[in-house]
Structure 1
Amino acid sequence: MKSLIVLAFLLVENSLCYSQTNTKIPYGNNPKAGHYVQADDAKLYYEVYGEGKTLIILHGGILGYMDEMTDFIDRLQKDYQVIAMATRGHGKSEIGSKPITYERRANDVLAVINAVTQDSVIVLGFSDGAYTAYKVASLFPERVKKMVAIGAGEQTPGLRTVNFNGPIFDPNNEIWTQKKKLMPEPDRLVQFWRDMEQFYNSMAADKALFMSIKCSTLVLSGELDRNAPLATVIAAYQMIPNSQLAIIPNTGHVTFMENFDTVWACIEPFLSVE
């Protein structure tokens, strides 16, 4: 992954910004809204906000957590019942004991959805969460009304190399000291990184996956995204049968942190159409 360290610092910088500016609702650690569900080998944490049609939000991987989705949760809970989920190994969710696969992660999402509703839902995912969203829509088409996938394009093994090394991945630095306070299994953090490296370096999001997606899908990306380059995002859009494409100019991987208003202007009309 050519821009992993750049992405890491972007996520950290914006996470710190949220912690300083959004103190009303502690997304990701809110006892008033928090719940747990057992999903096979892991106990998963999620929070529920608002009323209306159900929409589940899936955050980014490793440094990502539901607080990075603050602007989305703030805006969406006015009109939707929003489920903000902590994916396994992130925040207050357990890692589990079984190998990491997108099938398992899709089943995690289904377990959380089932804990809240038996109806079909809207799925909004970013980066790692968007790849999981693709898998949920593929495996459980009857449970996904429509989907927004941000920063996730075509991916084949060997296209990128992911490794979580360098100062930002020192488990004793301030960032991880704070994150480990939420984790039920902080001693497993480094091993989780190694397992996720293997997972990311072997994952595939290809024609077979994209062609199997039946729901209406908005594929959205920053023009300058180096983690999901523009060509790969356009390829995903072209392979998903019922899809729309939105490219946000002059923004990178975390496009919604750089220009939320424009991202929202693309997402809101997509969600409002039945």
Structure 2
Amino acid sequence: MDWARDGQDWPNRAHSRFVRHRPHRWHIQDAGSGLVVLLLHGTGAATHSWRDVFPILARRYRVVALDLPGQGFTQLGARQRCGLDRMSQDIAALMAGEGLQPAAVVGHSAGAALGMRLLRDLTQPPHALVGINAALENFKGMAGLLFPMMARMMAINPFSASEISRWLGNATGVESIIGGTGSRLSPEGLALYRTLVADRHHTDATLAMISQWDLDGLQADLPRIDTPTLLLVGDMDRAVPPATSVRAAERMPDAHVEHFPDLGHLAHEEAPEAVSARILAFLDARL
């Protein structure tokens, strides 16, 4: 993604800055004051995913959102560092380098798994976690074998990212994918995703992330995660089964699940005010 070309109308652009912290060059959005709340988007997204949640939370907290390595406007510096553990280590190092100590982490989908792994890697663990349609389980059955294998094959083919971007960037590709998650987005939201997936580098980094992702270690750690955790679930989610959060909460000492019956995987983009209200109520009671 090119900031001069693609960032002209990027949501919350006035709060964006770029930080070189090895091995990546990070795109960060930073607004508000007080305790730090870190926002982590899901696989294949970027800071735009928080476009409406970000300013609401920034009325009460200092909110920091970032693009994951290689996605959005963060430039990937080391391709082998796109898995859960290494990505968490690099985000923790970035936070330390910037003098930021998150009091809470809010993550969507794979970003929720990252938030849980950051409990181990941050210099001081946060006091609260929020997961929105948290992707906390590996793909089941044959999909668990085929999807990572396909991602690995595509990740080593230099032409695959361009081909996928070309397919997804057409008039119906993004609409089909978003609709498949159970969410309904505005034309603005769809256009932002279309900009992302049309970029070969963004798509390539997304494939690298998928190919390196493994949640076995995190699954084993769930019973030891005693940080107060709120898992928000869109019951219409067709990307991550709502039961995933229910099963996780049952294994965690201090976690509970709240449901949005009419929302899908991108619940925070569909209903940012309602989702933000739940997040703020939870954080205000614990920070």
Q: Name the TM-score, length of structure 2 as normaliser.
A: 0.73
Q: Does residue 236 of the first structure (1) align with residue 273 of the second (2)? A: no
Matched with 2:17 is 34
Cα displacement (A) at 1:250: 2.0
What residue number does 2:40 align with? 58
Structure 2: which 5+ residue stretches go unaligned? 1-5, 152-159, 171-190
Q: Which residue among 136, 143, 162 is the counterpart of 2:125?
A: 143
Alignment of 1:81-100 (within 5 A): 81-99=62-80, 100=82
Amino acid in the other structure paired with 1:80 = Y
Distance 1:251 1:207, change over 3 A: same
> Equivalent pairs: percent with the same residue?
20
Match of 1:263 among 263, 271, 275: 275
* 1:92 to 1:257, Cα distance in 2 relative to 1, 3 A: closer
Contact 2:71–2:206 under 8 Å retained in 1: no
CA contact (8 A) 2:137 2:219 kept: no
Q: Please say which of residues 117-126 and 164-173 is displaced more in the overlay.
A: 164-173
Closer, same or farther: CA 168–273 of 1 in aligned 2, 3 Å: farther
Cα 1:207/1:80, change in 2 over 3 Å: same
Provide the C-alpha distance between the structure 1 equivalents of 2:90 and 2:218, rounded to a whole number of angstroms. 22
The amino acid of 1:249's aligned partner reads P
More helix by share: 2
- Given that residues 112 and 135 in structure 2 are in contact (C-alpha distance below 8 angstroms), is that contact kept between their aligned partners in structure 1? no
How far apart are 1:254 and its partner, in Å? 0.8
Match of 1:111 in 2: 93
Give unmatched runs, 5+ long, in structure 1: 1-18
Write the letter of the residue equivalent to 1:197. I
Q: Which amino acid aligns with 2:99?
A: T
CA contact under 8 A between 2:41 and 2:109: conserved in structure 1? yes
Show structure 1 runs of 4+ deviating over 6 A: 164-168, 174-177
Structure-1 separation of matches of 2:270 and 2:194: 26
Partner-residue secondary structure (3-state), 1:143: coil
Deviation at 1:119, TM superposition (A): 3.6
Corresponding position: 1:75 with 2:56: yes
Partner of 1:219, secondary structure, is strand
Alignment counterpart, residue 169 of structure 1, candidates 164, 167, 185:
164
Provide the secondary structure at the position in 1 that maps to 2:232: strand
Name the aligned partner's letter for residue 241 of structure 2. P
Q: CA RMSD in A?
A: 3.2
Q: How far 1:141 sits from its partner (Å)? A: 7.7
2: CA distance between counterparts of 1:211 and 1:195? 29
1:192 aligns with 2:179: no
* TM-score (normalised: structure 1): 0.76
